Amino acid sequence: MSTAETDAQIINADMPDVPPQSPSKINLKDYKKPSFDVETVDLNIKLFEGFAQVDSTLKMVRQAAGDIVLFGEALELLAISMNGETLTAEQYQQDADKLTISNAPDEVVLEIQVRICPQTNTALEGLYMAGSGDDTMFVTQCEPEGFRKITFYPDRPDVLAIFTTRLEADKRYPTLLANGNLVESGELADAPDRHYAIWHDPTNKPSYLFACVVADLDVLTDSYTTSEGRDVKLEVYAKSADIDKCDVGMQALKDAMEWDEVNYGRPYDLDRYMIVAVSQFNMGAMENKGLNIFNTACVLSSPETTTDSRSFSVKAIIAHEYFHNWTGNRITCRDWFQLCLKEGFTVYRDQSFSADQQSRAVQRIDDVATLRAHQFAEDAGPLAHPVRPESFVEINNFYTTTVYEKGAEIVRMIANTLGPDDFRKGTDEYFRRYDGQAVTVEDFLSALSITDSKIENFIDWYRQPGTPVVSGHQSYDSAAQTITITLSQQTRRVSGFDAPKPLPIPVATALFDQDSGDIIAERILLLDQATQSFTFENVSSEPVVSLLRDFSAPVQLNYDYQDEDLAFLLKHETNGFNRWQVTQMLVNRILLQGQGLKSSPDVYLSALAQTLPELAIEDAMLAARLLDIPSAQELASAIHKDYDPALVKSQREGLYQLVADSLKDQWAALYKQLPMQSYEDSPEARGTRALRNVVLDMALTAKIEDAAVWAQQQYDNASCMTERFGALKVMVNHQVANADAYLADFYERFNGNDLVIDLWFSVQASADTVTADAIKSLIAHTDFDWNTPNRVRSVISAFTSQPTALWTAEGLSLYTGVIKKLDDANPVLASRLLQVLARWNTLAESHRQMAHDQLLELQQQVSSKHVLESLNSVLGAASE
């Protein structure tokens, strides 16, 4: 047994014998401000072999009647004093998750000493050890409630304080980082093999933004001069083997800093901005003030090891975390129910930044595809919740696409309703009013409504769950030369919530002349009643109507289109996103005929054949996206009962085969039109690579004789990971004769590079022919690591992309077994994996009863509040 495990046993043995309490639900309506505020925090974190000692000094001031309540979990309390006097056990009350002091004076200085064991912290919250051997490092993750695993503290987002942090460790960890600016460092006089660093953050921040790192890392440095003339030192820290993969992230950081100054007038406010790459991390990244902690998958990038999509995601996530400096850090959430306030606004900002880095149409396609595939499914199932939840047991369960992506869509609707100038006035007012405060959604809307009071009506989007369905038809009056568009909205009622009310839905609309294909009228129709009619005048002939342009609202559209109308729009729409949207409508009509939709594939195939050759030259990335067919998961979200995974897969593959066969004569010409060239990171080059990979897959599907050779040559001669992995993926999925040899080559070529080996795992776990036994073999592989979320997701999450394998007795037993295993070690990850099973109740009876039985069995085997809250909601679907 290791020293760390022994020390952990000692710590646990010394902790008070407190019976566990059943987790209680926390309600938004019960919010009360804390009795005491914290003005300053002095932390002294000393890291030793097997444990850490944390000394904290809190200067506190009363702001309301009540006790001092300090949250704390898995802490061994060594000492506590108030205003210089040691407190006895009778002077405070300690239970499993908090420490309470009654009858405290109005001004208090608390000194607390605790012992923790980061070496055995597998939950990856609070202070924990990541890696092993020479790669060992100690890092923090405090959002949402991880700081209470470091020391006792009023760990809530509306308590803002100024932090000074001293770190002490053995010199084998030369990198000692914390929030703010470095004020002092050196070695200990009485222990020359140890050293320390003191960091001071001059800005008030909540405890969830605290961060520290103790490690041995290399650093890439650069600088940026803000619009206010501040010289900011930029640093990206990573293992020495990865430091050459940090340039993309560094450039993205500088681009984001400039973009925020230009578009929002927000310069950076500290002298240093640091990013640290960590391999074992539950999240994508964390915006801790001045010291961002990043999952390696979200910061490391190089052409040889990173696909284009992942590299572009790195840029977006770097920007997202930087933008949080204002929308999340300087203005933060009053409580965790307001999570959408910082995340929705910041996602909208990073999407806007990304749109300026590539085709705006393609960026919008990416945003909406994610929303439809994941958030719409969430809204359609038992995990549906408002963008601002009304209650929770475990806030970690609400880091969802509803909070993030739907939250961003609400901000987008407001921005489009106001227009660029008034939206900028509103955001300037928001920053002016609330800088340095913890606020609510109502505060946000109040600031944005300074030029239009109706903006405050968007509050219902935050309160009401479910995806509205907008239906409509048109009526043309040739005598009056008017066209009237009648729209209605309906949202399903979610159990536990009031009946839905009409929401303000901006429907961007254009009228196209049927003869010329030109736009003859354009405007936003604000649908804010159950049913409304809108009339356009001076329309000389009946036009083709394009609705929900640029996806102006997060709704499902059910308009009385003819297939020929959609084919017309595919040809004449001036916006690339709208062209993609009509192809998706045509595809859904073909694939979801059992859900009341019906369409022949002929119009769709003809429209593709006419559009693709020219578009491949003009915009290769958009051409690749026009060939999108919704995933099996997205199609399943539209099926509300008797879902048969095998039938959906068969129908989807049948349409894909039909597209490949009908355009068979085009694939060879297109592939030759897209030759491999030396690597370039530009929108045009990324588009060429994306379309080449799609065409290669289509050619193999159409059984073109030379397609397998093309794939092998592309793999062998690849200039970047997008080309090599694209070729490997199609060879695996199409079971090309020597696919196993190429898999082996890929592994040997990149063995030791964790992120690339994640791809090696995922391409096998998501293969069209994957089975539960294949997943078991991957889990048994020596490189599989239960303690690394990236590796777990590369296998387990990839497996869910094949519902026909997941929704079998063997597949579901394996999947629930994974959740059970992770429930104790990493409940955050376990709960997120569980949520994939939310729509089990829509399965056909033969599958549904089996799924229900396995979920009930799992309910008896798990204990974390994270998993139990999600599981209870998932099982609640049985009663809906």
Active site members? 321
For residue 221 the two structure tokens come to 């440095």
**Residue whose C-alpha is closest to residue 701's, from 741, 735, 750, 748:** 735
Cβ within 8 Å of residue 229, ≥6 positions away: none
Cα gap 275→264, rounded to integer Å: 23
Instruction: Tell me whether strands 272-278 and 285-286 are parallel, antiparallel or unpaired.
Output: unpaired
Place of tokens 């606004």: 345
**Range 675-692 burial, b when 16+ CB lie within 10 A, else e:** eeeebeeeeebbbbbbbb
473: helix, strand or coil = strand
Cα gap 624→615, rounded to integer Å: 9
Task: Print the SS3 string covering 580-619.
Answer: HHHHHHHHHHHHCHHHCCCCCHHHHHHHHHHHHHHHHHHC
658: helix, strand or coil = helix
**Residue 324, burial from CB neighbour count under 10 angstroms (0-12, 13-18, 19+):** buried
CB 266 within 8 A of CB 283: no
- Region class of 192: left (phi > 0), else alpha (psi between -120 and 50), else beta: alpha
Task: Please name the residue ranges forming H helices in 220-307.
Answer: 247-264
Task: Print the SS3 string covering 54-78.
Answer: EEEEEEEEECCCCCEEEECCCCEEE
Cα gap 635→645, rounded to integer Å: 10
Q: Report residue 837: phi and psi, to 5°.
A: -90, 10
CA 263 centroid distance within chain: 23
Element spanning 345, H or E:
helix 339-355
CB 229 within 8 A of CB 185: no
Neighbour count for residue 49 (Cβ, 10 Å): 10
**Residue whose C-alpha is closest to residue 40's, from 220, 160, 209:** 160
Cβ within 8 Å of residue 638, ≥6 positions away: 380, 588, 592, 595
For residue 367 the two structure tokens come to 């945003």
Cβ within 8 Å of residue 251, ≥6 positions away: none
For residue 675 the two structure tokens come to 């030759």
**Residue 518, burial from CB neighbour count under 10 angstroms (0-12, 13-18, 19+):** exposed
Q: How far is CA 607 from CA 563, 579, 580, 728, in A?
A: 10, 11, 12, 30
452: helix, strand or coil = coil
Cα gap 294→667, rounded to integer Å: 40
Place of tokens 């062209």: 579
CB 140 within 8 A of CB 146: yes
**Residue whose C-alpha is closest to residue 503's, from 401, 410, 422, 412:** 410
Long-range contacts of 673-678 (CB under 8 A, 24+ apart): 673/616, 673/617, 674/616, 674/620, 676/714, 676/717, 676/718, 676/719, 676/723, 677/719, 678/719
Looking at residue 847, the DSSP 8-state letter turns out to be: H
Q: How far is CA 621 from CA 580, 689, 693, in A?
A: 11, 8, 11
